[in-house]
Structure 1
Amino acid sequence: MNSAALLSDAYGRIKEEVHSAVEGLSAAQLGERLDPGANSISWLVWHLTRIQDDHVSEAAQLEQVWTAGDWAGRFALPFADEATGYGHTPAQVGRVTVDSGQLLLGYYDAVHEQSLGFIRGLRDKDLDRIVDESWTPPVTLGVRLVSVLSDDLQHAGQALFVRGALERR
Protein backbone atom coordinates (compact mmCIF):
# COMPACT_ATOMS: atom_id res chain seq x y z
CA MET A 1 0.00 0.00 0.00
CA ASN A 2 1.36 3.41 -0.90
CA SER A 3 0.78 6.66 1.02
CA ALA A 4 -2.02 7.84 -1.30
CA ALA A 5 -3.95 4.63 -0.72
CA LEU A 6 -3.34 4.81 3.02
CA LEU A 7 -4.52 8.43 3.23
CA SER A 8 -7.54 7.68 1.03
CA ASP A 9 -8.57 4.89 3.39
CA ALA A 10 -8.08 7.14 6.42
CA TYR A 11 -10.12 10.00 4.93
CA GLY A 12 -12.82 7.46 4.10
CA ARG A 13 -13.07 6.70 7.80
CA ILE A 14 -13.81 10.36 8.52
CA LYS A 15 -16.73 10.14 6.09
CA GLU A 16 -18.12 7.07 7.84
CA GLU A 17 -18.02 8.80 11.23
CA VAL A 18 -19.52 12.05 9.94
CA HIS A 19 -22.43 10.20 8.36
CA SER A 20 -22.94 8.16 11.55
CA ALA A 21 -23.09 11.36 13.59
CA VAL A 22 -25.59 13.17 11.34
CA GLU A 23 -27.92 10.71 9.60
CA GLY A 24 -31.44 10.45 10.96
CA LEU A 25 -31.26 13.47 13.26
CA SER A 26 -33.66 16.40 13.09
CA ALA A 27 -32.51 19.99 12.62
CA ALA A 28 -33.30 20.59 16.29
CA GLN A 29 -31.15 17.66 17.39
CA LEU A 30 -28.29 18.76 15.14
CA GLY A 31 -28.37 22.21 16.71
CA GLU A 32 -28.83 21.13 20.31
CA ARG A 33 -26.02 21.78 22.77
CA LEU A 34 -25.40 19.81 25.94
CA ASP A 35 -24.85 23.10 27.77
CA PRO A 36 -24.63 26.75 26.66
CA GLY A 37 -20.86 26.57 26.13
CA ALA A 38 -20.85 23.25 24.27
CA ASN A 39 -20.56 22.60 20.55
CA SER A 40 -23.54 21.27 18.61
CA ILE A 41 -23.34 18.50 16.03
CA SER A 42 -24.10 21.11 13.37
CA TRP A 43 -21.15 23.22 14.42
CA LEU A 44 -18.77 20.28 14.84
CA VAL A 45 -19.50 18.83 11.39
CA TRP A 46 -19.53 22.25 9.70
CA HIS A 47 -16.22 23.14 11.37
CA LEU A 48 -14.41 19.88 10.57
CA THR A 49 -15.59 20.18 6.98
CA ARG A 50 -14.50 23.81 6.72
CA ILE A 51 -11.04 22.92 8.06
CA GLN A 52 -10.65 20.07 5.58
CA ASP A 53 -11.91 22.26 2.74
CA ASP A 54 -9.64 25.17 3.68
CA HIS A 55 -6.46 23.19 4.32
CA VAL A 56 -6.66 20.57 1.57
CA SER A 57 -7.83 22.98 -1.14
CA GLU A 58 -4.96 25.34 -0.29
CA ALA A 59 -2.44 22.49 -0.50
CA ALA A 60 -4.00 21.28 -3.76
CA GLN A 61 -4.15 24.83 -5.14
CA LEU A 62 -7.89 24.50 -5.74
CA GLU A 63 -10.78 26.80 -4.91
CA GLN A 64 -12.57 25.83 -1.74
CA VAL A 65 -15.76 23.85 -2.25
CA TRP A 66 -17.40 26.29 0.20
CA THR A 67 -17.28 29.08 -2.36
CA ALA A 68 -16.97 27.14 -5.64
CA GLY A 69 -20.18 25.19 -4.95
CA ASP A 70 -21.96 28.13 -3.25
CA TRP A 71 -22.19 26.22 -0.01
CA ALA A 72 -21.59 29.54 1.75
CA GLY A 73 -24.81 30.81 0.17
CA ARG A 74 -26.72 27.63 0.96
CA PHE A 75 -25.75 27.72 4.62
CA ALA A 76 -26.29 31.50 4.84
CA LEU A 77 -24.28 31.77 8.05
CA PRO A 78 -23.53 35.21 9.54
CA PHE A 79 -19.78 34.86 8.99
CA ALA A 80 -17.28 35.86 6.32
CA ASP A 81 -16.78 33.22 3.63
CA GLU A 82 -13.28 32.47 4.92
CA ALA A 83 -14.53 31.59 8.44
CA THR A 84 -13.80 28.01 9.48
CA GLY A 85 -15.01 28.10 13.07
CA TYR A 86 -11.49 28.21 14.49
CA GLY A 87 -11.65 30.33 17.65
CA HIS A 88 -15.42 30.66 17.62
CA THR A 89 -17.06 31.84 20.82
CA PRO A 90 -20.04 29.97 22.29
CA ALA A 91 -22.33 32.63 20.79
CA GLN A 92 -20.85 32.07 17.32
CA VAL A 93 -21.18 28.30 17.74
CA GLY A 94 -24.87 28.82 18.39
CA ARG A 95 -25.27 30.64 15.07
CA VAL A 96 -24.34 27.53 13.07
CA THR A 97 -27.75 26.06 12.38
CA VAL A 98 -29.05 23.95 9.51
CA ASP A 99 -32.48 23.03 8.21
CA SER A 100 -31.46 19.40 7.79
CA GLY A 101 -28.59 16.97 8.00
CA GLN A 102 -28.65 16.77 4.20
CA LEU A 103 -27.08 20.23 4.00
CA LEU A 104 -24.23 19.23 6.31
CA LEU A 105 -23.69 15.92 4.54
CA GLY A 106 -23.95 17.46 1.09
CA TYR A 107 -21.19 19.91 1.87
CA TYR A 108 -19.09 17.29 3.66
CA ASP A 109 -19.42 14.81 0.78
CA ALA A 110 -18.43 17.45 -1.79
CA VAL A 111 -15.33 18.34 0.24
CA HIS A 112 -14.54 14.67 0.73
CA GLU A 113 -14.66 14.04 -3.03
CA GLN A 114 -12.40 17.01 -3.80
CA SER A 115 -9.96 15.93 -1.08
CA LEU A 116 -9.86 12.34 -2.32
CA GLY A 117 -9.39 13.49 -5.91
CA PHE A 118 -6.27 15.31 -4.79
CA ILE A 119 -5.01 12.61 -2.40
CA ARG A 120 -5.39 9.77 -4.90
CA GLY A 121 -3.05 11.55 -7.31
CA LEU A 122 -0.24 11.97 -4.79
CA ARG A 123 3.11 10.24 -5.01
CA ASP A 124 5.09 9.50 -1.88
CA LYS A 125 7.65 12.22 -2.66
CA ASP A 126 4.84 14.82 -2.85
CA LEU A 127 4.31 14.53 0.90
CA ASP A 128 7.64 16.30 1.55
CA ARG A 129 6.52 19.50 -0.24
CA ILE A 130 6.34 22.52 2.08
CA VAL A 131 2.79 23.90 2.16
CA ASP A 132 3.03 26.37 5.04
CA GLU A 133 6.14 28.31 5.96
CA SER A 134 4.50 30.26 8.80
CA TRP A 135 5.38 27.48 11.28
CA THR A 136 8.72 26.36 12.68
CA PRO A 137 9.53 23.92 11.25
CA PRO A 138 7.63 24.57 8.03
CA VAL A 139 4.64 22.28 7.45
CA THR A 140 4.91 19.60 4.77
CA LEU A 141 1.98 18.29 2.78
CA GLY A 142 2.18 14.98 4.65
CA VAL A 143 2.02 16.69 8.03
CA ARG A 144 -0.86 18.91 6.88
CA LEU A 145 -2.91 15.96 5.62
CA VAL A 146 -2.36 14.00 8.85
CA SER A 147 -3.18 17.11 10.91
CA VAL A 148 -6.51 17.51 9.08
CA LEU A 149 -7.19 13.81 9.50
CA SER A 150 -6.54 13.96 13.25
CA ASP A 151 -8.63 17.11 13.76
CA ASP A 152 -11.53 15.78 11.70
CA LEU A 153 -11.62 12.42 13.49
CA GLN A 154 -11.56 14.16 16.88
CA HIS A 155 -14.48 16.43 15.94
CA ALA A 156 -16.42 13.55 14.37
CA GLY A 157 -15.95 11.62 17.62
CA GLN A 158 -17.19 14.61 19.58
CA ALA A 159 -20.27 14.81 17.33
CA LEU A 160 -20.94 11.11 17.94
CA PHE A 161 -20.59 11.67 21.69
CA VAL A 162 -23.13 14.52 21.54
CA ARG A 163 -25.47 12.33 19.50
CA GLY A 164 -25.23 9.55 22.07
CA ALA A 165 -25.91 11.95 24.93
CA LEU A 166 -28.93 13.39 23.12
CA GLU A 167 -30.32 9.94 22.34
CA ARG A 168 -30.05 8.91 26.00
CA ARG A 169 -32.05 11.93 27.20
Structure 2
Amino acid sequence: MPWGAGRVGLTWQPPADAGGAGLTVTGYEVEGVGRLSGTSVVVDGLTAGPAPTFRVRAWSSRGEAGDWAVIAPVAVTTAPQAPTVTATATPTDDDALAVVVRWTPGRDGGSPVTGYRVRAGDGDWVVRGPPTARRRSSRPPVPARHGSRCRRCPRAAPVPRPP
Protein backbone atom coordinates (compact mmCIF):
# COMPACT_ATOMS: atom_id res chain seq x y z
CA MET A 1 0.00 0.00 0.00
CA PRO A 2 1.59 3.34 -0.98
CA TRP A 3 2.00 6.27 1.44
CA GLY A 4 -1.26 8.18 1.84
CA ALA A 5 -3.51 5.39 0.60
CA GLY A 6 -5.11 4.66 3.97
CA ARG A 7 -8.06 2.38 4.56
CA VAL A 8 -10.30 1.13 7.33
CA GLY A 9 -12.45 -1.95 7.64
CA LEU A 10 -15.85 -1.34 9.26
CA THR A 11 -18.19 -3.97 10.69
CA TRP A 12 -21.43 -3.77 12.65
CA GLN A 13 -24.16 -6.00 14.03
CA PRO A 14 -27.70 -6.13 12.58
CA PRO A 15 -30.34 -4.42 14.73
CA ALA A 16 -32.40 -6.59 17.06
CA ASP A 17 -35.61 -5.03 15.65
CA ALA A 18 -36.16 -4.37 11.93
CA GLY A 19 -38.75 -1.70 12.68
CA GLY A 20 -41.93 -3.66 13.34
CA ALA A 21 -43.71 -7.00 13.17
CA GLY A 22 -43.15 -8.90 9.93
CA LEU A 23 -40.36 -6.55 8.73
CA THR A 24 -36.86 -7.66 7.83
CA VAL A 25 -33.60 -5.78 7.29
CA THR A 26 -32.91 -5.54 3.56
CA GLY A 27 -29.65 -3.61 3.67
CA TYR A 28 -27.59 -0.92 5.30
CA GLU A 29 -26.38 2.56 4.53
CA VAL A 30 -22.99 3.85 5.67
CA GLU A 31 -22.86 7.63 5.73
CA GLY A 32 -20.54 8.90 3.00
CA VAL A 33 -20.17 5.41 1.48
CA GLY A 34 -23.64 4.37 0.27
CA ARG A 35 -26.07 1.45 0.45
CA LEU A 36 -24.78 -2.06 1.14
CA SER A 37 -26.24 -5.53 1.55
CA GLY A 38 -23.80 -6.90 4.18
CA THR A 39 -22.57 -5.87 7.62
CA SER A 40 -19.04 -4.85 6.66
CA VAL A 41 -17.23 -2.59 4.21
CA VAL A 42 -13.66 -1.42 3.50
CA VAL A 43 -13.31 2.34 2.97
CA ASP A 44 -10.25 3.32 0.88
CA GLY A 45 -8.58 6.64 0.02
CA LEU A 46 -8.24 7.94 3.57
CA THR A 47 -5.33 9.84 5.08
CA ALA A 48 -3.57 8.25 8.06
CA GLY A 49 -4.25 9.81 11.38
CA PRO A 50 -7.18 10.31 13.73
CA ALA A 51 -10.08 7.95 13.27
CA PRO A 52 -12.92 9.48 11.27
CA THR A 53 -16.47 8.93 12.50
CA PHE A 54 -18.69 6.64 10.43
CA ARG A 55 -22.42 6.09 10.96
CA VAL A 56 -24.63 3.25 9.73
CA ARG A 57 -28.37 2.66 9.56
CA ALA A 58 -30.53 -0.28 8.52
CA TRP A 59 -33.21 -0.27 5.83
CA SER A 60 -36.37 -2.33 6.30
CA SER A 61 -38.45 -4.38 3.87
CA ARG A 62 -40.94 -1.48 3.98
CA GLY A 63 -38.24 0.82 2.53
CA GLU A 64 -37.78 2.84 5.70
CA ALA A 65 -34.47 3.72 7.26
CA GLY A 66 -33.72 3.34 10.96
CA ASP A 67 -31.81 5.78 13.14
CA TRP A 68 -28.13 6.42 12.51
CA ALA A 69 -25.73 4.54 14.82
CA VAL A 70 -22.07 5.48 15.23
CA ILE A 71 -19.61 2.72 14.34
CA ALA A 72 -16.75 2.46 16.85
CA PRO A 73 -13.80 4.57 15.59
CA VAL A 74 -11.00 2.73 13.83
CA ALA A 75 -7.57 4.34 13.31
CA VAL A 76 -6.62 4.88 9.67
CA THR A 77 -3.25 3.35 8.79
CA THR A 78 -1.15 3.39 5.65
CA ALA A 79 2.39 2.45 4.61
CA PRO A 80 5.03 4.65 6.27
CA GLN A 81 6.60 7.42 4.23
CA ALA A 82 10.20 6.81 3.14
CA PRO A 83 12.86 8.39 5.35
CA THR A 84 15.18 11.14 4.17
CA VAL A 85 18.64 9.58 3.86
CA THR A 86 22.09 11.19 3.66
CA ALA A 87 25.49 9.53 3.42
CA THR A 88 28.95 11.04 3.83
CA ALA A 89 32.18 9.24 2.88
CA THR A 90 35.46 10.34 4.49
CA PRO A 91 38.93 8.84 3.87
CA THR A 92 40.74 7.59 6.99
CA ASP A 93 44.46 7.66 7.82
CA ASP A 94 44.92 4.01 6.81
CA ASP A 95 43.49 4.36 3.26
CA ALA A 96 40.10 3.03 4.28
CA LEU A 97 36.85 4.88 3.77
CA ALA A 98 34.47 5.68 6.64
CA VAL A 99 30.83 6.09 5.63
CA VAL A 100 28.28 7.73 7.91
CA VAL A 101 24.65 7.18 6.99
CA ARG A 102 21.92 9.23 8.66
CA TRP A 103 18.20 9.15 8.18
CA THR A 104 15.26 11.16 9.36
CA PRO A 105 11.93 9.33 9.50
CA GLY A 106 9.03 10.31 7.30
CA ARG A 107 5.45 10.11 8.50
CA ASP A 108 4.71 6.82 10.23
CA GLY A 109 1.41 6.09 8.48
CA GLY A 110 -0.49 5.85 11.76
CA SER A 111 1.57 3.04 13.27
CA PRO A 112 4.97 3.59 14.94
CA VAL A 113 8.04 2.66 12.87
CA THR A 114 10.14 0.27 14.97
CA GLY A 115 13.13 -0.20 12.67
CA TYR A 116 14.73 0.11 9.26
CA ARG A 117 16.35 -2.41 6.91
CA VAL A 118 19.83 -1.23 5.88
CA ARG A 119 22.60 -2.73 3.77
CA ALA A 120 26.09 -1.62 2.73
CA GLY A 121 27.12 -2.46 -0.84
CA ASP A 122 26.09 -5.99 -1.73
CA GLY A 123 26.11 -7.10 1.92
CA ASP A 124 23.25 -8.60 3.86
CA TRP A 125 20.26 -6.52 4.91
CA VAL A 126 20.30 -5.75 8.63
CA VAL A 127 17.58 -4.31 10.82
CA ARG A 128 18.33 -1.14 12.75
CA GLY A 129 16.24 0.47 15.44
CA PRO A 130 14.89 4.01 15.57
CA PRO A 131 16.48 6.81 13.50
CA THR A 132 20.17 7.11 14.17
CA ALA A 133 23.57 7.34 12.53
CA ARG A 134 25.63 4.24 11.80
CA ARG A 135 29.35 4.23 10.99
CA ARG A 136 30.96 1.57 8.84
CA SER A 137 34.66 1.53 8.05
CA SER A 138 35.87 -0.48 5.10
CA ARG A 139 39.18 -2.11 4.10
CA PRO A 140 39.79 -1.62 1.19
CA PRO A 141 37.77 1.52 0.38
CA VAL A 142 34.08 1.11 -0.41
CA PRO A 143 33.77 0.44 -4.16
CA ALA A 144 31.40 3.38 -4.66
CA ARG A 145 31.95 5.41 -7.82
CA HIS A 146 31.23 9.11 -8.14
CA GLY A 147 27.49 9.56 -8.68
CA SER A 148 26.61 6.00 -7.64
CA ARG A 149 23.88 5.43 -5.10
CA CYS A 150 24.15 3.79 -1.71
CA ARG A 151 22.15 0.61 -1.55
CA ARG A 152 19.67 1.68 1.09
CA CYS A 153 16.05 0.77 1.47
CA PRO A 154 14.00 2.52 0.16
CA ARG A 155 15.94 5.64 -0.99
CA ALA A 156 19.41 7.04 -0.58
CA ALA A 157 21.48 10.07 -1.44
CA PRO A 158 24.50 9.77 -3.80
CA VAL A 159 27.78 8.91 -2.12
CA PRO A 160 30.14 11.87 -2.63
CA ARG A 161 33.63 11.28 -4.02
CA PRO A 162 36.28 11.69 -1.31
CA PRO A 163 38.71 14.59 -1.83
- TM-score interval (norm. to shorter): under 0.3
Structure with greater strand share of residues: 2
Bigger relative contact order, structure 1 or 2, given CA contacts below 8 A and separation 6+?
A: 1
Tell me the TM-score normalised to structure 2 length. Answer: 0.23
TM-score (norm 1): 0.23
